[in-house]
Structure 1
Amino acid sequence: MEVKIIDIGEDYVRLVIKGEGHTYLNLLQHYLVEDEDVIVARYNIPHPLIGEPEIYIKTSGVDPLEAVKRANEKIIAACNTLLEQL
Protein backbone atom coordinates (compact mmCIF):
# COMPACT_ATOMS: atom_id res chain seq x y z
CA MET A 1 0.00 0.00 0.00
CA GLU A 2 1.29 3.42 -0.94
CA VAL A 3 -0.32 6.51 0.60
CA LYS A 4 0.07 9.90 -1.01
CA ILE A 5 -1.22 13.17 0.46
CA ILE A 6 -2.99 15.11 -2.28
CA ASP A 7 -4.24 18.01 -0.17
CA ILE A 8 -4.05 18.77 3.54
CA GLY A 9 -5.27 21.47 5.86
CA GLU A 10 -5.75 21.87 9.59
CA ASP A 11 -9.04 19.98 9.55
CA TYR A 12 -9.07 18.00 6.31
CA VAL A 13 -6.95 15.69 4.20
CA ARG A 14 -7.30 14.08 0.79
CA LEU A 15 -5.27 10.91 0.31
CA VAL A 16 -4.62 8.54 -2.57
CA ILE A 17 -4.21 4.97 -1.34
CA LYS A 18 -2.65 2.93 -4.13
CA GLY A 19 -3.06 -0.81 -4.17
CA GLU A 20 -6.26 -0.89 -2.14
CA GLY A 21 -9.89 -1.32 -3.06
CA HIS A 22 -13.34 -1.22 -1.56
CA THR A 23 -12.52 -3.79 1.12
CA TYR A 24 -10.00 -1.66 2.98
CA LEU A 25 -11.44 1.76 2.12
CA ASN A 26 -14.94 0.81 3.24
CA LEU A 27 -13.52 -0.50 6.52
CA LEU A 28 -11.44 2.64 7.02
CA GLN A 29 -14.42 4.85 6.24
CA HIS A 30 -16.54 2.89 8.71
CA TYR A 31 -14.14 3.47 11.60
CA LEU A 32 -13.55 7.10 10.63
CA VAL A 33 -17.28 7.84 10.67
CA GLU A 34 -17.52 6.31 14.16
CA ASP A 35 -14.94 8.85 15.40
CA GLU A 36 -16.65 11.81 17.10
CA ASP A 37 -14.00 14.17 15.72
CA VAL A 38 -14.68 13.20 12.09
CA ILE A 39 -17.35 15.17 10.26
CA VAL A 40 -16.95 13.62 6.80
CA ALA A 41 -15.20 10.49 5.57
CA ARG A 42 -15.80 9.45 1.99
CA TYR A 43 -13.88 7.59 -0.64
CA ASN A 44 -14.01 7.19 -4.38
CA ILE A 45 -12.46 4.72 -6.78
CA PRO A 46 -12.88 6.26 -10.25
CA HIS A 47 -12.30 2.97 -12.08
CA PRO A 48 -11.76 -0.45 -10.48
CA LEU A 49 -8.93 -1.43 -12.82
CA ILE A 50 -7.04 1.79 -13.45
CA GLY A 51 -8.36 4.32 -10.94
CA GLU A 52 -6.42 5.41 -7.89
CA PRO A 53 -8.55 5.16 -4.74
CA GLU A 54 -8.97 8.51 -3.01
CA ILE A 55 -10.31 9.23 0.48
CA TYR A 56 -11.34 12.59 1.93
CA ILE A 57 -11.54 13.19 5.67
CA LYS A 58 -12.80 16.37 7.38
CA THR A 59 -12.61 16.76 11.13
CA SER A 60 -13.94 19.17 13.72
CA GLY A 61 -10.48 20.70 14.13
CA VAL A 62 -8.48 17.61 15.07
CA ASP A 63 -5.48 16.65 12.93
CA PRO A 64 -7.05 14.50 10.19
CA LEU A 65 -3.99 12.27 9.96
CA GLU A 66 -4.41 11.45 13.65
CA ALA A 67 -8.00 10.43 12.93
CA VAL A 68 -6.75 8.12 10.17
CA LYS A 69 -4.17 6.68 12.54
CA ARG A 70 -6.81 6.02 15.22
CA ALA A 71 -9.10 4.36 12.67
CA ASN A 72 -6.28 2.09 11.52
CA GLU A 73 -5.48 1.17 15.12
CA LYS A 74 -9.13 0.14 15.56
CA ILE A 75 -8.95 -1.97 12.39
CA ILE A 76 -5.83 -3.71 13.72
CA ALA A 77 -7.52 -4.34 17.08
CA ALA A 78 -10.60 -5.79 15.37
CA CYS A 79 -8.42 -8.08 13.24
CA ASN A 80 -6.45 -9.22 16.29
CA THR A 81 -9.68 -9.99 18.15
CA LEU A 82 -10.90 -12.04 15.21
CA LEU A 83 -7.62 -13.95 14.99
CA GLU A 84 -7.78 -14.76 18.71
CA GLN A 85 -11.23 -16.25 18.24
CA LEU A 86 -10.14 -18.61 15.47
Structure 2
Amino acid sequence: MELNILNKTNNELEVELRGETHTLLNLLKDLLIKDERVEAAFYDMKHVSISDPILYIKTDGTDPILVLKETAAIIIAQCDEFIDVFSKAANA
Protein backbone atom coordinates (compact mmCIF):
# COMPACT_ATOMS: atom_id res chain seq x y z
CA MET A 1 0.00 0.00 0.00
CA GLU A 2 1.10 3.50 -0.76
CA LEU A 3 -0.66 6.42 0.88
CA ASN A 4 -0.69 9.95 -0.49
CA ILE A 5 -2.30 12.87 1.37
CA LEU A 6 -3.92 14.96 -1.34
CA ASN A 7 -5.46 17.63 0.87
CA LYS A 8 -5.60 18.38 4.59
CA THR A 9 -7.22 21.15 6.57
CA ASN A 10 -8.07 21.43 10.26
CA ASN A 11 -11.18 19.30 9.79
CA GLU A 12 -10.89 17.65 6.37
CA LEU A 13 -8.64 15.02 4.88
CA GLU A 14 -8.39 13.60 1.38
CA VAL A 15 -6.14 10.54 1.06
CA GLU A 16 -5.29 8.36 -1.92
CA LEU A 17 -4.66 4.72 -0.98
CA ARG A 18 -2.77 3.20 -3.89
CA GLY A 19 -3.23 -0.49 -4.44
CA GLU A 20 -6.23 -0.82 -2.14
CA THR A 21 -9.73 -1.98 -3.00
CA HIS A 22 -13.26 -1.71 -1.69
CA THR A 23 -12.42 -4.19 1.09
CA LEU A 24 -10.29 -1.84 3.17
CA LEU A 25 -12.08 1.35 2.13
CA ASN A 26 -15.52 0.04 3.10
CA LEU A 27 -14.19 -1.03 6.49
CA LEU A 28 -12.60 2.37 7.10
CA LYS A 29 -15.69 4.25 5.93
CA ASP A 30 -18.05 2.16 8.06
CA LEU A 31 -16.01 2.73 11.21
CA LEU A 32 -15.41 6.40 10.49
CA ILE A 33 -19.10 7.22 10.10
CA LYS A 34 -19.79 5.62 13.49
CA ASP A 35 -17.37 8.07 15.13
CA GLU A 36 -19.27 11.02 16.64
CA ARG A 37 -16.46 13.38 15.63
CA VAL A 38 -16.89 12.53 11.95
CA GLU A 39 -19.40 14.59 9.99
CA ALA A 40 -18.76 12.83 6.67
CA ALA A 41 -16.71 9.89 5.45
CA PHE A 42 -16.78 8.34 2.01
CA TYR A 43 -14.49 7.18 -0.73
CA ASP A 44 -14.43 7.38 -4.48
CA MET A 45 -12.98 4.85 -6.88
CA LYS A 46 -13.48 5.60 -10.54
CA HIS A 47 -12.72 2.05 -11.67
CA VAL A 48 -11.30 -0.74 -9.53
CA SER A 49 -8.73 -1.90 -12.08
CA ILE A 50 -7.44 1.46 -13.30
CA SER A 51 -7.80 3.96 -10.46
CA ASP A 52 -6.85 4.17 -6.82
CA PRO A 53 -9.44 4.97 -4.16
CA ILE A 54 -9.58 8.35 -2.50
CA LEU A 55 -10.89 8.55 1.06
CA TYR A 56 -12.57 11.76 2.24
CA ILE A 57 -13.06 12.61 5.91
CA LYS A 58 -14.69 15.69 7.43
CA THR A 59 -14.70 16.09 11.19
CA ASP A 60 -16.21 18.42 13.76
CA GLY A 61 -12.85 20.13 14.08
CA THR A 62 -10.95 17.16 15.46
CA ASP A 63 -7.72 16.50 13.58
CA PRO A 64 -8.78 14.11 10.80
CA ILE A 65 -5.37 12.42 10.80
CA LEU A 66 -5.84 11.56 14.48
CA VAL A 67 -9.32 10.20 13.74
CA LEU A 68 -7.98 8.04 10.89
CA LYS A 69 -5.12 6.71 13.06
CA GLU A 70 -7.58 5.82 15.83
CA THR A 71 -9.84 4.10 13.31
CA ALA A 72 -6.89 2.05 12.04
CA ALA A 73 -6.14 1.06 15.65
CA ILE A 74 -9.73 -0.16 16.04
CA ILE A 75 -9.34 -2.33 12.94
CA ILE A 76 -6.12 -3.81 14.32
CA ALA A 77 -7.81 -4.56 17.66
CA GLN A 78 -10.74 -6.23 15.89
CA CYS A 79 -8.37 -8.37 13.82
CA ASP A 80 -6.43 -9.36 16.95
CA GLU A 81 -9.68 -10.35 18.66
CA PHE A 82 -10.72 -12.40 15.63
CA ILE A 83 -7.38 -14.22 15.60
CA ASP A 84 -7.78 -15.11 19.29
CA VAL A 85 -11.37 -16.31 18.94
CA PHE A 86 -10.65 -18.22 15.76
CA SER A 87 -7.55 -19.87 17.21
CA LYS A 88 -9.53 -21.07 20.24
CA ALA A 89 -12.32 -22.41 18.03
CA ALA A 90 -9.90 -24.10 15.64
CA ASN A 91 -8.06 -25.81 18.49
CA ALA A 92 -11.21 -26.95 20.30
TM-score, scaled to structure 1: 0.97
Query: Which stretches in structure 1 are left out of the alignment for 5+ residues?
Result: none
5+ unaligned residues in a row in structure 2: which ranges? 87-92
Q: Which ranges of 4 or more aligned residues in structure 1 deviate by more than 6 Å?
A: none
Equivalenced residues, count:
86
1:24 match: secondary structure? helix
Identity %: 37
Tell me by how many angstroms 1:34 deviates: 1.1
| Cα distance in 1, alignment partners of residues 79 and 15 from structure 2 | 23
CA-to-aligned-CA distance 1:18-52 (integer Å, 9 cap, x gap):
01100000000111111110000000111110111
Query: Which is higher, the Rg of structure 1 or of structure 2?
Result: 2
Match for 2:71: what amino acid? A
1:31 corresponds to: 31
TM-score by length of 2: 0.91
Alignment of 1:29-68 (within 5 A): 29-68=29-68
3-state secondary structure, aligned to 1:84: helix
Alignment RMSD (CA, Å): 0.6
